[in-house]
């Protein structure tokens, strides 16, 4: 009898192959990610160690200098050390920032109390940054440099510059960048990289005395800018604020205000059909001033012409918070201002997006825009606004819209009666002499 044995070989199904390949891809991907992370950490450690070596070497050089030589070019105190320089090590370019400034120690009293000599010792701060694919936080070293004997005045003609930075709440702005320049001191002062502390302050003892020569600019990423301004007979004869002065043994204090930037979108539309108005030019004016001209008129920080695009829109991103108004050249544009939502002047709050619609009417010589509001200044919609002449040759009643406004056009140059009423409010009656494109804001008293 013959016996035969058959073996059946079972292969892998398509599903099993797909699952195996998927698991292999996941494991391989994880291993590659771990490898990349490890390489990045290794490179970053190498770069950080190099930065630490650069900072340490710089600090040792400073520690071995005579006390009076510890200072930076263009700094206070002044010296021969570079405030900003580039050092290359292991094929990596490092930016080295050296800040040296006097410290007023509370041990012997502060300049704000009884201590007239507030240059007690020097603080040195060295920051090293680098720009690689995976740059981490900079390396920072800080130390104090103390004179061998008693504290010595940096000069017999110095004072203190005390700068404070706030937002509009007001709250201190930490790590705001302060640039200090004085082109008339000896030696020249150029300090571009100072920053405010946790109180929003930067204090500069030992500043050489000078009259309206300290130029200050305050900035921070994502914030508006504040600064002092030069006196110019033509463009700004009376700057506000002017460049700062420092007197002997005195403190010059100045506060600056900056805020998170916002976005302002302005759309121009017709007041009767709500159609957009393209290529319309107007002037946008802020409320902040930087001085006055020879006749005492305000010079505004922001005053610029804007023109709407094909969609009737002007979009201003990264825009400074302020109170803004709009002026129109009626003759050139052929339009009169017929209202806005929200009504003007409008407040652009910090870190905010505001959509402003301005309404336009065909230009006529005499118009009247009435804004009706509550006693607290909020808008008052659905009020009955009656404009008429005594002889009733003109008699029209309109209802205030959602933004509290009504617009009368065309009118004559004459005296009109204006009556406003709304349930729950006292009736209002006055005379208005229309001589141009008039605007009236009227508050109704509650009953």
Q: In the prediction, which pLDDT does 156 show? A: 61
Q: In the prediction, which pLDDT does 104 show? A: 83
Q: In the prediction, which pLDDT does 408 show? A: 96
Per-residue b/e over 184-215, b at no fewer than 16 CB within 10 Å? ebeeebbbeebebeeebbbbbbbbbbbeebbb
- Which helix or strand (DSSP H or E) is residue 26 part of? helix 14-63
**Is it the case that residue 285 has pLDDT exceeding 80?**
yes
Q: Which residues are CB-neighbours of 427 under 8 A, at least 6 positions away?
A: 419, 420, 421
Q: What is the mean pLDDT of residues 133-145?
A: 84
What is the band of 259 on the pLDDT scale with cuts at 50, 70, 90? very high
| DSSP 3-state of 100 | strand
Closest CA to 416 of 443, 385, 381: 385
Q: In the prediction, which pLDDT does 447 show? A: 82
Q: Of the ranges 120-124, 150-154, 281-285, which one carries the lowest mean pLDDT score?
A: 150-154
Q: In the prediction, which pLDDT does 153 show? A: 54
| Domain boundaries along the sequence of the chain | 29-145, 158-257, 260-363, 365-447
Q: Tell me the C-alpha to C-alpha distance, in Å, between residue 80 and each of 83, 128, 194, 275, 305.
A: 9, 19, 18, 65, 47
**Is it the case that residue 387 has pLDDT exceeding 70?**
yes
> If you classify domain 158-257 with CATH, what class do you get?
mainly beta
Closest CA to 81 of 96, 91, 94, 92: 96
Q: In the prediction, which pLDDT does 149 show? A: 62
**Is it the case that residue 11 has pLDDT exceeding 90?**
no
- Which helix or strand (DSSP H or E) is residue 440 part of? strand 437-443
> How far apart, in whole angstroms, are the C-alpha atoms of residue 165 and residue 170?
9
Q: What is the mean pLDDT of residues 174-181?
A: 96
Q: In what order do the strands lie in the sheet with 322-327?
A: 303-307, 281-286, 322-327, 346-348
Question: CATH classification of 260-363 is 2.60.40.10, yes or no?
Answer: yes
Q: Is 416 exposed, middle or buried (0-12, 13-18, 19+ CB in 10 A)?
A: buried
Task: Dump pLDDT digits (tens) for 350-376.
Answer: 999 999 999 999 999 999 999 999 999
> How far apart, in whole angstroms, are the C-alpha atoms of residue 207 and residue 159?
5
The two structure tokens encoding residue 349: 């709050």
Looking at the DSSP bridge assignments, the partners of residue 349 are none
For residues 399 and 387, the answer to whether their CB atoms sit within 8 Å is: no
Per-residue b/e over 110-129, b at no fewer than 16 CB within 10 Å? ebeeebebbbbbbebebbbb
Task: Dump pLDDT digits (tens) for 297-323.
Answer: 999 999 999 999 999 999 999 999 999
Task: Select the more confidently predicted residue: 26 or 216.
Answer: 216
Q: In the prediction, which pLDDT does 382 show? A: 95
> How far apart, in whole angstroms, are the C-alpha atoms of residue 323 and residue 342?
12
Q: In the prediction, which pLDDT does 118 show? A: 75
**Is it the case that residue 31 has pLDDT exceeding 70?**
no
Q: What is the mean pLDDT of residues 207-234?
A: 95
Task: Select the more confidently predicted residue: 177 or 27.
Answer: 177
φ, ψ of residue 321 to 5 degrees: the values are -60, 140
| Angle subtended at Cα 182 by Cα 176 and Cα 185, rounded to the nearest 5 degrees | 145
Q: In the prediction, which pLDDT does 303 show? A: 97
Q: What is 365-447's CATH number? A: 2.60.40.1120
Q: In the prediction, which pLDDT does 113 show? A: 61
Q: What is the mean pLDDT of residues 5-16?
A: 60
Question: CB under 8 Å, gap of 24 or more: what pairs does 59-68 form?
Answer: 59/124, 59/126, 59/141, 59/143, 62/98, 62/100, 62/124, 62/126, 62/145, 63/143, 63/145, 67/122, 67/145, 67/146, 67/147, 67/148, 67/152, 68/152
Q: In the prediction, which pLDDT does 103 show? A: 87
Q: In the prediction, which pLDDT does 395 show? A: 95
Task: Select the more confidently predicted residue: 117 or 168.
Answer: 168
Q: In the prediction, which pLDDT does 4 show? A: 54
Q: What is the mean pLDDT of residues 83-109?
A: 86
The two structure tokens encoding residue 168: 């509009």
Q: In the prediction, which pLDDT does 273 show? A: 92
């Amino acid at each position: 009898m013959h016996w035969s044995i058959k073996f059946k070989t079972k292969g892998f199904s398509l599903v099993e192959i797909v699952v195996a390949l998927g698991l292999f891809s996941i494991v391989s991907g994880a291993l590659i990610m771990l490898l990349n992370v490890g390489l990045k950490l290794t490179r970053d450690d190498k770069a950080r160690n190099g930065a630490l070596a650069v900072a340490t070497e710089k600090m040792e050089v400073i520690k071995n200098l005579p006390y009076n030589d510890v200072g930076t070019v263009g700094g206070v105190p002044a010296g021969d050390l570079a405030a900003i320089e580039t050092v290359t090590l292991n094929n990596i370019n490092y930016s080295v920032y050296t800040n040296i400034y006097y410290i007023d120690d509370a041990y012997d009293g502060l300049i704000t109390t009884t201590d007239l000599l507030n240059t007690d010792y020097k603080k040195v701060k060295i920051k090293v940054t680098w720009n690689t694919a995976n740059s981490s936080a900079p390396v920072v070293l800080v130390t104090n440099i103390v004179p061998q004997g008693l504290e010595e005045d940096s000069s017999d003609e110095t004072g203190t510059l005390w700068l404070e930075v706030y937002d509009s709440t007001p709250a201190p702005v930490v790590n705001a960048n302060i640039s200090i320049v004085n082109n008339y001191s000896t030696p020249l002062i150029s300090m571009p990289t100072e920053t405010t502390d946790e109180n929003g302050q930067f204090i500069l003892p030992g500043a050489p005395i000078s009259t309206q020569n300290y130029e200050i600019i305050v900035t921070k990423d994502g914030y508006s800018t504040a600064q002092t301004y030069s006196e110019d007979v033509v463009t700004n004869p009376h700057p506000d604020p002017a460049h700062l002065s420092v007197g002997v043994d005195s403190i010059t204090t100045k506060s600056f205000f900056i805020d998170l930037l916002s976005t302002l979108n302005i759309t121009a539309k017709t007041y009767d059909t709500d159609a957009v108005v393209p290529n319309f030019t107007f002037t946008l004016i802020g409320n902040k001033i930087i001085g006055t001209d020879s006749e005492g008129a305000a010079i505004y920080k922001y005053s610029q012409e804007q023109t709407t695009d094909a969609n009737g829109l002007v979009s201003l991103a990264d825009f400074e918070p302020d109170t803004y108004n709009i002026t129109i050249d009626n003759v050139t544009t052929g339009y009169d201002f017929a209202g806005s939502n929200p009504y003007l002047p409008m407040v652009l709050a910090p870190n905010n997006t505001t959509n402003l619609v301005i309404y336009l009417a065909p230009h006529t010589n005499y118009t009247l825009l009435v804004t009706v509001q509550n006693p607290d200044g909020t808008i008052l919609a659905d009020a009955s606004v009656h404009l008429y002449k005594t002889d009733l040759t003109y008699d029209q009643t309109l209802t205030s819209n959602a933004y509290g406004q009504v617009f009368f056009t065309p009118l004559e140059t004459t005296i009109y009666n204006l009556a406003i009423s709304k349930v729950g409010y006292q009736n209002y009656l006055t005379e208005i002499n229309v001589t141009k494109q008039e605007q009236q804001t009227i508050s109704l008293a509650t009953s």
